[in-house]
Structure 1
Amino acid sequence: MSGAEVDRLVTMANQIARFFESQPGDGAARATADHLNSFWAPTMREQLREHAAAGGSGLSALVAAAVPLLRPARTDAPG
């Protein structure tokens, strides 16, 4: 994944988290993860997860809290 792709994902994730940051308690992290799970492709979620695991440069604290709540990409083939 190129640096530009990572920057784009980080920017988008941070913008989404900013929208949900007023949720009480851990609701903001859950709402952020729910949004990413609902609207981001599994590959995008996996790229975000990999970026966070590599140090998460540029990720807001709220996105970092949401990452463990992301659904993993399916590894089994449909059928």
Structure 2
Amino acid sequence: MSRSQLDTLIHMANQIAANNAHYGDDAAERVYTHLKKFWARSMKRQIVDYLQQDGSELSPLARQAIERLAQSQSETHSASA
């Protein structure tokens, strides 16, 4: 994956988070649900990898949602093993 593609994913995740921030306590879950439903598996894997390696460009809300996504992927992977 190129840095340009990663920058696009970071930007998109931060935009989704910003657009859902007004939901307060439910915001991170809404962002997580959006990513899970609408992002391709490869996009989800790339943004989770970025979070685990650095994640510094993610907003706090995007980071929280992507941490939940990583947890969900880990649970799914463990259940299918």
Q: For 1:12 and 1:24, locate their aligned partners in 2 and report how far apart those are by CA, in whole Å.
A: 20
The sequence identity of aligned pairs, in percent, is 35
Q: CA deviation at 1:58?
A: 1.1
| RMSD over equivalenced CA pairs, Å | 1.7
Calculate the TM-score normalised by the size of structure 2.
0.83
Opposite residue 28 of structure 1, the aligned amino acid is A
User: Quick check: 1:49–1:67 contact (8 Å CA) kept in 2?
Assistant: yes
Aligned length: 75
- Please list every run of 5 or more consecutive structure 1 residues that lacks an aligned counterpart in the other structure: none
Counterpart of 1:72 in structure 2 is 73
Calculate the TM-score normalised by the size of structure 1.
0.85
Q: CA deviation at 1:15?
A: 0.6
- Please list every run of 5 or more consecutive structure 2 residues that lacks an aligned counterpart in the other structure: none
SS at match of 1:22: helix
Counterpart of 1:14 in structure 2 is 14
* Greater percentage in helix: 2
